[in-house]
Structure 1
Amino acid sequence: MVDYSKMPQNQILCIDMKSFYASCSAVMDGLDPLECYLAVVGDKKREGSIVLAASPRMKKEFGIKTGSRKFEIPKDPRIKIVEPKMATYMRISTEITRVFHRYVPKEAIHTYSVDESFIKVDGAVKLWGDAKTIAWKIKDDIEREFQLPCAIGIGPNLLMAKLCLDLEAKKAGISEWGYEDVQTKLWEVSPLSEMWGIGRRVEKTLNGMGIFTVGQLARYDLEQLEKKFGVMGNQLYYHAWGIDLSEIGAPIMEGQISFGKSQVLLRDYKEKEEIKHVILEMCEEVARRARQHRKAGRTISFGVSYSQDEFGGGFYRSKTIEEPTNVTMDIYQVCLELFEKFYEGKTVRKISMAIGNIVDDYELQLNLFDENSWKKRELGYVVDRIRGRFGSASLLRAVSYTAAGTARHRAKLVGGHKG
């Protein structure tokens, strides 16, 4: 049993804007976000274009959700299909954050994503009332000023607030969980992928161990979980008990930081050389993201998804190298090695990669067999500064000017989509 008296007893709000992109587009078109039938797609001209967001009624009545394709949307006169306006969405997101500042200082706010934020209200309760009262005030402010719906989960730590949001508040509007709710509400959750932090791959492994509910996970032998999953096994166990020691501003799963990118290609890629061109472009972007945070990583993960025309499938594999890196070509060589080893020659429609096992990039282990290692690392930072000043398209690799390249097109986008 866990002694909850020694655990954090904060008052954390997790605020989620419902179907944010779709709701923003609905309001801009004078529609009710909760009543209209609206889908935001990347490109209206392409039938295979991905649905980026769908209004609640689109999800409920037509089964159209994020990740669906345009050709799956029924030909119904009530349905409105629009393209994204990313710059506008970002601006609205910023304005919503300003609402939070009315109740707490900036140090108490953590923006988790463009449509989700955490707020620690411990220091504001004497001024505004308890956590639930503050949640209702924020919800009312957002709906009155932006006509946008939101849901708010409340918990004693970041994890519990997030779980409360995902598992209850998204249906109820506002909900609050305490540690006393762990066994009655959290432990009942099944399938395991319904719990934040557990993906399909981990769920499958846990199922193979005889674990099908969060309660079974909480009662499983901790040593066995750590033996199977390492540090992640420890986190899975304590998360099943609702325990999280993260502070506002830190990632919820401490130690699981990585820098990655996933890209659904604009068309099917069948030629190996063309696929390699896109891989190199993506390595450049992932390396740049790591350098922006002055980080480097030892574990490089890479995978591809095949076209549905060939019944889908694909692979995702990782390799750990001796020295941490954020050099584009180092990452590219590992991705290329994994690609050559596991690629089955099928048509590729999606490419994913990430670097993990992150460390600070302030030191460099000198290598007698690579006297230019320092120069290669510093060159990346120089290129970043040029792009930061003149734009991401100001300096591109030659592959970006081939028919396979996507970087020139993506440089015109905001958040990966039309502005």
Structure 2
Amino acid sequence: MQPSHSVSLLGGTAPNILHIDMDAFFASVEVLDRPEVAGKPAVVAHDSPRSVVTSATYEARALGIRSAMPLVTAKRLCPDVIVLEPHFEKYRAYSKKVMSIFYDFTPVVEQLSIDEAFLDVSGAQKIFGTPEQIAQQIKDRVRDETGLPCSVGVASTKFVAKLASTKSKPNGLLVIPEEETLAFLHPLPIETIWGVGKKTAEVLHKRGLHTVADIAQSPPASLISALGQAAGTHLYELSWARDPRPVSTQRAEKSIGKEHTFNEDVTDAEKLKATLLFQADHVGAQLRKAQLEARTIGLKVTFSDFESLTRSRTLPEATSVGREIHKVVCELLDELKTGGRSIRLIGVRAASLVDAGTQQLSLWGDEGDAWKEAEIVMDQVGEKFGPDSVRPASFLRKIEPTRESGTPG
């Protein structure tokens, strides 16, 4: 494990928001049961030709191995990489332990995913000390009670707190007082701003914008012209560390889904995947409308004998892009191996929802950025001319109008 380190930029108003992120969570949990792997390049994945990396130790990351990378690519980068089979029930159990520690310090906890959360500690300081002291106490308890490392960012806004935790990785603690926020933020590259993927970065770089300070000094109208009203305004506000969102303990929507019951049972894989594309696009649009992204994508299948099966996958990074959701559910369908059984209902569900833009969009690369931009345009056209005014080319072959259900849950 990496040694813990703490950096404080104290000298002004103490911030109240903590962002806590477990370090290489799945891999770290597996190493607890395989201590001989500690300090070595290792990945969490099913050891099969079609598998992808779910998590990687920092030693593996130093060799260029990343989450969502095909396992065969990881093995090319490091032929001796150790492959650890995933055990999701263990990850859920450790997550529950970690979150319970957070609640011992404050009731204001916003769990973003299985391995990260925001905490508002403004009401805890009389009991536990300064935010920096609280952060260190949490780190110590997590390590002592679970054996796992985590990184903590402390700041006055959620945006800066998350940047600080990322900067402090692995196993670090970074405090950004309110008065030092812009000094910390402005020298950073534009890619550190929430939602700036490769395509957006290219547009900004072509305009000579390379740091957050460059964005902050740009006329808002110029950013809006380049990126659109929503994105341009969003980036400008964040470049000045303006993020009014409080730490939220509740979310009205826990999941968003879409199901389709066929008029006649279906065995044709092409038709099933075309239906999934329609559903994934719908779910993606609903996520974007709610300004949410999903860390978990699920598939539901009901056979002609009314037996139902569900499968899900937790992604390394959240998404609201329909084509990315479609890719995952198609993979889940292939893995289901239905054996040609007739299917009467199929559905897509997005869960483990987080606020849009709280994670970088690097998982899907250029293609993902391009699809997201295209789907946002489709959203705008749909709002003006109706939801069916723009549809994928694959839907020129019409899917029968049958019983559909869309369910936020």
Same fold (TM over 0.5): yes
Query: 1:154 is paired with a residue of what secondary structure?
Result: strand
**1:81-110 residue CA offsets vs partner (Å, 9 max, x unmatched):** 0222222212211221001111111xx100
Q: Contact 2:280–2:323 (CA<8 Å) still a contact in 1? A: no
Q: C-alpha separation between the residues in 1 aligned to 2:234 and 2:249?
A: 15
Structure with the bigger RCO (C-alpha within 8 Å, sep 6+) is 2
State the match for 1:39 in structure 2: 43
Q: 1:104 to 1:234 in 2, by over 3 A?
A: same
Say how many residue pairs are matched.
306
The TM-score with structure 2 as length reference comes to 0.64
Runs of 4+ in structure 1 over 6 Å off: 258-261, 288-297, 321-324
Q: Contact 2:277–2:322 (CA<8 Å) still a contact in 1? A: no
Q: 1:284 to 1:212 in 2, by over 3 A?
A: same
Q: Contact 2:26–2:86 (CA<8 Å) still a contact in 1? A: yes
Q: C-alpha separation between the residues in 2 aligned to 1:219 and 1:55?
A: 38
Q: C-alpha separation between the residues in 1 aligned to 2:48 and 2:236?
A: 47
Map residues 366-381 of structure 1 onto 2, 5 A cutoff: 379-380=404-405
Q: 1:104 to 1:182 in 2, by over 3 A?
A: closer
State the match for 1:30 in structure 2: 35
Q: Contact 1:13–1:153 (CA<8 Å) still a contact in 2? A: yes
Q: Structure 2 regions of 5+ residues with no counterpart?
A: 1-12, 259-267, 293-319, 328-365
1:231, distance to aligned residue in structure 2 (A)? 2.1
Q: Contact 2:106–2:124 (CA<8 Å) still a contact in 1? A: yes
1:19, distance to aligned residue in structure 2 (A)? 0.5
Query: 2:55 is paired with a residue of what secondary structure?
Result: strand
Q: Contact 2:15–2:176 (CA<8 Å) still a contact in 1? A: no
Map residues 6-405 of structure 1 onto 2, 5 A cutoff: 10-31=15-36, 33=38, 35-41=39-45, 43-46=46-49, 48-60=50-62, 62-74=63-75, 79-105=81-107, 108-166=108-166, 168-171=167-170, 173-190=172-189, 192-228=190-226, 229-249=228-248, 277-284=272-279, 287=282, 302-303=322-323, 316=371, 317-318=374-375, 319-320=378-379, 334-337=390-393, 379-380=404-405
Q: C-alpha separation between the residues in 1 aligned to 2:120 and 2:135?
A: 11
Q: Which amino acid aligns with 1:280?
A: T
Q: C-alpha separation between the residues in 1 aligned to 2:37 and 2:238?
A: 37
Query: 1:13 is paired with a residue of what secondary structure?
Result: strand
Query: 1:44 is paired with a residue of what secondary structure?
Result: coil
Query: 2:54 is paired with a residue of what secondary structure?
Result: strand
State the match for 1:4 in structure 2: none
Q: Contact 2:105–2:124 (CA<8 Å) still a contact in 1? A: yes
**1:194-222 residue CA offsets vs partner (Å, 9 max, x unmatched):** 33331112111111222111110010001
Q: 1:9 to 1:138 in 2, by over 3 A?
A: closer
Structure 1 vs Structure 2 CA RMSD: 4.1
State the match for 2:330 in structure 1: none
Query: 2:405 is paired with a residue of what secondary structure?
Result: helix
Q: Contact 1:15–1:151 (CA<8 Å) still a contact in 2? A: yes
Q: Contact 2:281–2:321 (CA<8 Å) still a contact in 1? A: no
Q: Which amino acid aligns with 2:65?
A: I
Q: C-alpha separation between the residues in 1 aligned to 2:47 and 2:242?
A: 44
The TM-score with structure 1 as length reference comes to 0.62
**1:380-404 residue CA offsets vs partner (Å, 9 max, x unmatched):** 16xx69xx9xxxxxxxxxxxxxxxx
Identical positions, percent? 23
Q: C-alpha separation between the residues in 2 aligned to 1:246 and 1:84?
A: 35
